[in-house]
Amino acid sequence: MTFEYAGTRVAVNVADHDALSAAVRDRLSEGRGFAVATLNLDHMVKLRSDPEFRAAYASHDFVTADGNPVVWLSRLASRPVDLVPGSDAILPLCRVAAELGAAIGLYGSTEETLGRAKTYLEAEVPGLRIAFAEAPPMGFDPDGDAARDALGRMQAEGARLVFLALGAPRQECFAARGREIAPDIGFVSIGAGLDFFAGHQRRAPRLVRKLALEWLWRMLSDPRRLAPRYAKCGAILPLEVIRALRQRHSP
C-alpha cells in the first residue's frame, strides 16, 4: 500500500507481525541498521504539511500500519496489510533481540517511565539485555547536538535495537538522523508504548480494540487534546479512499 505527499512516496511494506519480526531478525543477524515507522492517520495529516517529516519517513526501511483506517485503505487498494501498532511490536522484537543476543535501548519518555518499563521488559523477556535507557532533555531537537550525543552513547553502550518513545514527528526525525550517524543500530518508533508498560497509560480493553474503537476510547479519555486531532484525521479520509480505489485499479 502506497501513499504520496508532495512527491514523497510512503509505502506500507510490512504485511504483519511475523513479517516485521523476520525483517528485524535478518537485519540484526547481518549487523545492519534500519528504521521502522508506524503509519496512522495522524501521521498522514502531518505528512501533508511537514517537509521534514516527509523526508524522515522516506528514509525509513520499514513501515507498518498503525491504525485500522490504514488497514482498511490497504484492503480497498487490494494491497492488504495487517494492523501492526508500534506498542504491540515491542515485546515480539525484544524476544528476537534476546534470542540473538542483541542489546536493546530505550530512548524517550521520562526517567520514571523508563525505569518501570525496563523492569517490565526484563521480567517478560528472559535474557534480554537493556544496554541503554535515557530520557531526552526538555526541548529536545532531533537535529541538535543533544541528539547527536545520544546516538554516540547508544553506540558506545552497544545497543543494537533502540525503541524511540519521542512522539511524532520527533521520533521519526531522530531515527532518520540515526540511520546516518549510527547505521548499525535499528530504530523502532513506538509513541506511547513504554507508558503502557509503566502503567502510566491504559490500553483500551481487548474488545474495544477488536471492534476498532480504540480511537474513541482514547478521545474520551482526553477530549480537549484529541478531539481536534481526530477531526483532522477524519477530514482526510474521503480523499484517501479515492486514492486507495485508484490503486486498486492500477497495474
User: pTM for this one?
Assistant: 0.93
End-to-end CA distance of the chain: 13
Between 111-124 and 86-100, two packed helices, what is the crossing angle to 10 degrees? 60
Is the pLDDT at 86 greater than 70? The verdict is yes
Q: How many residues does the chain have?
A: 251
CA distance 125 to 96: 10
What whole-number distance in Å separates Cα of residue 104 and Cα of residue 98?
A: 9
**CA separation for the pair 134, 146 (Å, rounded):** 12
Residues 6+ apart with CB under 8 A from 228: none
Is 226's pLDDT higher than 90? no
pLDDT value at 56 more than 70: yes
Is the pLDDT confidence value at 195 over 90? no
Higher pLDDT, 51 or 216: 51
At 239 the pLDDT is: 94
DSSP designation for 163? E
Give the pLDDT of residue 205: 74
Cβ atoms of 162 and 154 within 8 Å: the answer is yes
